[in-house]
C-alpha cells in the first residue's frame, strides 16, 4: 500500500511531535501540574524538501520591502492603582493599516496587557496567555499571580528568540504589579514602562509629571497627555487614546478622542 502524499511529499517525510512541558506541582493543588504544549521543529526532513519550520533566521523568506511599524503604549503605578494607555493606530510602513486597533487587552479579571510589535504576533500570544491563565485557574482553583503569568509567557516566548516573532507585552495587574515581557524572553519588573516608537516622547512627559501621590484624575490626565504628545511627534502613532485604570477587583476604561 502506497503512503498518502500531500503536494508531492509523502506523509512519512516530515514528522512533528508535541512536547509536554511540566511546570511544577503543588501539594496544595493535589499534585496537579501546570502543563502546556509547545510546538517543536520537524524531527527530520528529506534533503530535497525545504523544512516547514526553520530555526535559522537566515532561511526565512523576507518581504520584498520592509514594512516598518510603530506604536506608543505605556503603563505606570501610582497610589490609586495602575494606569495603562495606548494609541490606536496600526501602521505598515507609510500606510495606516487601521485607525482603531485595541492595543490594551483584558486578559483576565485581574490582568490587562498592553501590546507592541507585530499585530498578528501580539494577538496570537495574548490568546495563548489567556488560555493558559484560564486553564491554570480550572486546574488549581485559584488565579495565576501576575509574576507567574509573566514568567510563563517569558518561558513560552524564549524558544522564538532570534526569529521574526515580534512581541512586547506589558502586564498590568490589579495588585499594583507592572511587568514587561518581550519576544526574546526578557522579563523586567518596574514602576513605569513605555514601549514602541513613540516611547521616548512619552517618557519625557512621564518623567516630568509622574509621582506616586497622583490622584486618579491627575494620573489619567498624565497618561493621556503622554500618549498624545507621542502621537504628535511619532508618525507611526496616532488616532485615539485608549486608557485603563486598574484597581483591585475593578477595571475602568476611559476612551479619549
Helix (H) or strand (E) holding 19: strand 18-22
The residues with which 256 forms a beta bridge, in sequence order, are 241
Give the list of residues 6+ apart from residue 124 with CB closer than 8 angstroms, or none: none
Terminal-residue alpha carbon distance, the chain? 65
71 flagged as catalytic: yes
Q: What H or E segment, with its residue span, contains residue 6?
A: strand 5-6
Find out whether 170 and 105 touch, Cβ atoms under 8 Å.
Answer: no
Give the closest residue to 238 by CA, choosing from 91, 85, 67.
91
Catalytic residue among 71, 105, 114, 231: 71
Give the C-alpha separation, 120 to 165, whole Å. 10
User: What are the beta bridge partners of residue 104?
Assistant: 114
* Backbone angle region of 93, left / alpha / beta, with phi > 0 → left and psi within -120 to 50 → alpha: left
Annotated catalytic residues are: 71
Amino acid at each position: 500500500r502506497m503512503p498518502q502524499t500531500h503536494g508531492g511529499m509523502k506523509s512519512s517525510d516530515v514528522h512533528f511531535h508535541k512536547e509536554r512541558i511540566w511546570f511544577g506541582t503543588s501539594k496544595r493543588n493535589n499534585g496537579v501540574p501546570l502543563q502546556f504544549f509547545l510546538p517543536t521543529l520537524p524531527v527530520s526532513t528529506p534533503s530535497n524538501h525545504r523544512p516547514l519550520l526553520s530555526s535559522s533566521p537566515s532561511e526565512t523568506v523576507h518581504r520584498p520591502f520592509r514594512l516598518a511599524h510603530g506604536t506608543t503604549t505605556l503603563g505606570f503605578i501610582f497610589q490609586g492603582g495602575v494606569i495603562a494607555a495606548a494609541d490606536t493606530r496600526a501602521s505598515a510602513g507609510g500606510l495606516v493599516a487601521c485607525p482603531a486597533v485595541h492595543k490594551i487587552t483584558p486578559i483576565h479579571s485581574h490582568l490587562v496587557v498592553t501590546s507592541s510589535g507585530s499585530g498578528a504576533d501580539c494577538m496570537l500570544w495574548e490568546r495563548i496567555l489567556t488560555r493558559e491563565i484560564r486553564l491554570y485557574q480550572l486546574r488549581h482553583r485559584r488565579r495565576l499571580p501576575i509574576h507567574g503569568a509573566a514568567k510563563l509567557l517569558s518561558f513560552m516566548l524564549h524558544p522564538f528568540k532570534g526569529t521574526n516573532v515580534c512581541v512586547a507585552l506589558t502586564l498590568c495587574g490589579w495588585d499594583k504589579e507592572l511587568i514587561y515581557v518581550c519576544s526574546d524572553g526578557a522579563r523586567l519588573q518596574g514602576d513605569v514602562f513605555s514601549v514602541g516608537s513613540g516611547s521616548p516622547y512619552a517618557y519625557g512627559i512621564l518623567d516630568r509629571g509622574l509621582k506616586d501621590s497622583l490622584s486618579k484624575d491627575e494620573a489619567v490626565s498624565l497618561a493621556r497627555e503622554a500618549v498624545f504628545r507621542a502621537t504628535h511627534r511619532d508618525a507611526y502613532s496616532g488616532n485615539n487614546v485608549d486608557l485603563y485604570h486598574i484597581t483591585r477587583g475593578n477595571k475602568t476604561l476611559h476612551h479619549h478622542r
